[in-house]
A and B are shown apart, each in its own frame.
Chain A
Amino acid sequence: MHSSGNVIPFSFDLSTLVQRSVASLYSHLVTRPTGRALRLGIESQIGEIGSVCLSVLDFTQVVVLDYSCADEAVAKLIQRYQLADRPADAYFVARGLGEQHRDPIDEVLIRHDLALVAEVEGEFTLLGCADELEHQAWHALQRVRLGRPEDVAVELDATAAEVGTALDRLASRRVVLRRGAPDSFCALTTLLPER
């Protein structure tokens, strides 16, 4: 797996992309065909990058997002890059989410047993499937930014071994990145470009 080297941040403005990807100029992310077209557009652009990349799904301009579109555009996108035979080594972060977007994205991720790093109302959080310790470890790594399980465990009421297992699971869900020294983990948000 690509655990080292540069990770290229790449941003997708979903509102603009949906207008490029779908024949008609839709201003809202609703319906499965719209979500499917959006996903294919993103996959195509990730394919052109040809390197490890951090893909930013920017919802800032999106007003309405329904469950069907979220399932096709977000869950199935994340799912495809979870697979061992994924077409590229892409990580994902959703930005610019409002409270009205949180529920559809959270629900579709849970349905598919997936997780996603997301900025909701300006705060980074972990959406989708993660147990309590995974949530705690993810938030602690957000504060530490880059570190080994023992560095993260200092922040928590858990052993380094327990935290290491949780971070391993988070890495396999691709919501943290193995990076730097052996056994070190990096919060995806540290790789984001400044806004």
Chain B
Amino acid sequence: MTEKTDRPTASHHRTPGGKHSLQNDIRREGFFEEIEHTADVAIRCGGPDLETLFSNAARGMYHLMDLKSAPAGPVETETVAMAAADVEGLLVDWLGELAYRAETRGLVPEQVVFRRLSDTRIEADLIGRRQHGFTRVIKAVTYHDLSVEKTGAGYIATVVFDV
């Protein structure tokens, strides 16, 4: 399965507190929202399928990192391949990998091509240019309150980040 996803952007995200049905949110393009957590930050995100969920989770995380600069330099492609025991663990690994590449190499993909994505395995190409300068560091993606639920409309996930 191959899905192309546009560059992560904050423009689609929902204002917390707005009155939306969760089912509609899941179907909405680019759905993620920041939710309350006293010490750290958390997002809820969704999508009609796993590819969209994983893309929107990445969008939400990049939104939290608050990119300060525009992408620059040549377009590069990097490959991600990882496996986990369950879909929640896979989501943590995926976001952790993206945060690591953003922090150390400045890679923030403008496009993600999923070559393979199941509950326990992901293979994807990250296509984009380098961006340096984030307002907030993501120290880690945690397993606390982590959830990925499948509903009639698709998937909904909650992820807490240590910042």
Question: Is A bound to B?
Answer: no
**A residues neighboring B (CB under 8 Å):** none
